[in-house]
Amino acid sequence: MRLTKYLACARRARGARTLLALAALAAVAAVGADSQARKRAADAASVVGAWQGTLPNGMRAATISIVPSGDGLAGAFVGYDYERRTDSPAGAPPKVSVRSGAVLTDVKLEGDRLTFKMYLRHPSPPAGRPAGVDISGEIVLQGGDAAELRLSAPQKTEPLVMKLTRD
């Protein structure tokens, strides 16, 4: 009879240890999830803001705004077209003639790279030209408020590359 009593106590003790172990695992998982959330927030902070894209000659070609959105990121793109070529040495710099914009979709931050897609619609496309173009973008963070932007379109052989600085 005594043996039966000790076996019952042993079973309850094992069950209690199992429950304690499960509770400990749940607590560790919660701490891990919390630290992952903090890491994602810190990573997002490295890219959130208004970024100015400049051409090699220093002319502004784009503005990209990145904002937090739920568990991820969202953003918008504004591109600038000038009244004449931006590399001509003649007099005063050219004026912006057209601003075109797009909402960023499929925004993903992986390490120091932010990738996105957008459909850039031209406000008044030239005759015989499409109304817009699908573009894939990549921002490579270089530390601090510096980054590089690469914009690729299916009809172009080389991506458009420009320097980004955060305001």
Question: How does pLDDT run along the chain (167 residues), one tens digit per residue?
Answer: 454 544 444 444 444 455 444 444 455 555 555 555 555 555 677 899 999 998 877 888 899 999 999 889 999 999 887 766 666 666 677 777 677 889 999 999 999 999 999 998 877 777 888 888 899 999 999 988 999 999 999 888 999 899 999 98
Report the distance separating Cα 165 and Cα 149, nearest Å.
Answer: 10
Residues 23 and 101 reside in one and the same domain:
no
94 plus 145 within the same structural domain: yes
As for how many domains the chain has, the answer is: 2
Same domain, 30 and 88: no
Q: Are residues 74 and 156 in the same domain?
A: yes
Claim to verify: residue 148 and residue 113 sit in the same structural domain? yes
Which run of H or of E encompasses 44?
A: helix 2-45
Domain that holds residue 18: 1-45
Q: Are residues 25 and 103 in the same domain?
A: no
Q: What is the DSSP letter of 128?
A: T
Domain final residue pick, 9, 25, 45: 45
**Contact in structure between 59 and 89 (CB atoms under 8 Å):** no
In the chain, helix, strand, coil percent, each to 5? 25, 45, 30
77 and 70 Cβ atoms separated by less than 8 Å: no
